[in-house]
Structures are given as C-alpha cells and as structure tokens.
Amino acid sequence: MFEGSMVALVTPFKNGELDEKKIVELVDWHVSEGTQGIVPCGTTGESPTLSYKEHGRVIEIVVKAARKRIPVLAGTGSNSTTEAIELTHHAKEVGADAALMICPYYNKPTQKGLIEHYRAVAREAPLPIILYNIPGRTGVNMLPQTVVELARSEPKVVGIKEASGSMDQATEILAALPSFIVLSGDDSLTLPLMAIGAKGVVSVVANILPKDTAALVAAAKSGDWDRAREIHFKMFPLIKALFLETNPIPIKTAMGWLERCSPEVRLPLSSMDALNVKKLEAALRAYGGLLSPARERAVC
C-alpha cells in the first residue's frame, strides 16, 4: 500500500493563509496523473511554519480530497514526543492511512532517545508509522541498527523514508530487513535505491512531474532498467536545479511559473536569488514544455 511514486506535497498559500482550494486541486491533479500516494505536512509542505491548527487542517483537506483513491501519509512528526502522538491521533481521526514521522529535530537525541521516541509513538498512536531520516534537516542521523531494532520490535513501524543520502545506510537496512518498506527521500537517488530493493519515493519533483516520476518508479519496479535510466538521466538536471536553494523554495517557484499554485513561501524562507532563478528557468526549459506561455514571454 505504501509504495510507488508518492508526492511530498507543497502547502499552497495565498496572502499568508492556507489556499484550501488549491490543496484540493493539487490532490485531484495528482490522482489523475498517476501519483500513488500523497504526503502532506512534510518538509516540502513547510510544516515548521504551520500552526498546530493549520497542520491538522491541511491533513484533513488532503484526506477528504483523496477520497481513498490513493493513500495519505500524513506528516505528524515533532521534536516533542507528546505532540507527535497528538498529531498522529488527529491524522487517524480524519482518515489518514499512515504517519510519516521525522526524527526529532534540534534537540538531537541519541540513538537510544530515537528508539524510545518512536517506541512511545508506536505504542500510543493508532496508525502505521513510516520513519523519516533526514539528518541534513534534523541534526541527527538515525543509524541502520536503530531502524532494524524498531522494525523488529514495533509492528506499527512498517517503513522508512531514507533521505540521509547514503546508499550504504539503505543497503544495511534492506540487507537486514528485505521486506521492509524503504522509500527514497532524495529524487536523485530513487533509481539506485530501487535497484537495491526500495519500494518507491516520496518525491519533490513529482509536484511538477507526477507522470514522469510515476513512470520511472513503475519502470524500476518492473525491471525495465533501460527505461528507468532514460527517465532518470532526463530528470536529473532539473532535480539538481530544484535544490539550488532550500526546499521548497525552488519547487514552489517552479509551480508558480507553471500556474499550479502561488510561489509564496513563509518566512524565514524567502524568494529565490536572481541568479538561481535563471538556472531554474534554464533547467525547466531544457526539460521541455514546462514553462507556461506567460512565463516564456516574460523571460524572452
């Protein structure tokens, strides 16, 4: 159920407020484009700047819009274990299918602390849990042995979004847990991770290329490695451009140009540097057919 091409959904804003209409439009679009799962309120969804009320509201809107057509993995992590449990309970109440749970950030727990944190959530919260390891954001790296211990001792811990950038870590996890759900957390590593047994990706680039991302994952799953490589090599320059600045600044900028939603981000995130804007435009143009006619005219 929790595999394939899943989108790390942006949170659209309009004049500083949630753009609820756009959230619904994006979910419907992703379903029609072949996305196989929606992940609201993650890093790409600017969860750190959402109020507690907004966080719950975004998950509720996404669940209602998805209408069980594809699963919703709600971002419910926190650096407070109690808050993570509360957010996960709410996600269950509104109908989410699983919880994507980031490692506690800023307070930098030890590996023992990570185990105790996730164990407490797993035993209190009513949803399957997908761990989320992204040390570049949290300041702590969840080691493979920690993942293995949690997977073997807590039945609700069913997978991990692995965004450490380390093929070695993913290899160690999959060698010890062949049936465990490993999802790529880095678009540029989706293909190599699937080659060693990952089940899919929680993708940033899928916000603008849902069909192509789904096609890459489907090709890899079916063993059509030539086709998977073809898509990977085509997407790679654009993926790199989408991380010229802190995610989700570039992806939201691109979505604004593509008229998918406003490019608005919340402080302390800010608009893109002018030089990086040119680089992103070039990458979108090189990919082919992505810039809207209005943006093409503005650039020319």
Active site residues: 132, 161
How remote is the C-alpha of 296 from its chain's centroid? 29
HEC secondary structure over the chain? CCCEEEEECCCCEECCEECHHHHHHHHHHHHHHCCCEEECCCCCCCHHHCCHHHHHHHHHHHHHHHCCCCCEEEECCCCCHHHHHHHHHHHHHHCCCEEEEECCCCCCCCHHHHHHHHHHHHHHCCCCEEEEECHHHHCCCCCHHHHHHHHHHCCCEEEEEECCCCHHHHHHHHHHCCCCEEEECCHHHHHHHHHCCCCEEEECHHHCCHHHHHHHHHHHHHCCHHHHHHHHHHHHHHHHHCCCCCCCHHHHHHHHHCCCCCCCCCCCCCCCCHHHHHHHHHHHHHHCCCCCHHHHHHHC
Distance CA 270, CA 63 (A): 29
Write the CB contacts of 245 (distance below 8 Å, at least 6 apart in sequence): 272, 273, 276
Lookup: tokens for 279: 């680089």
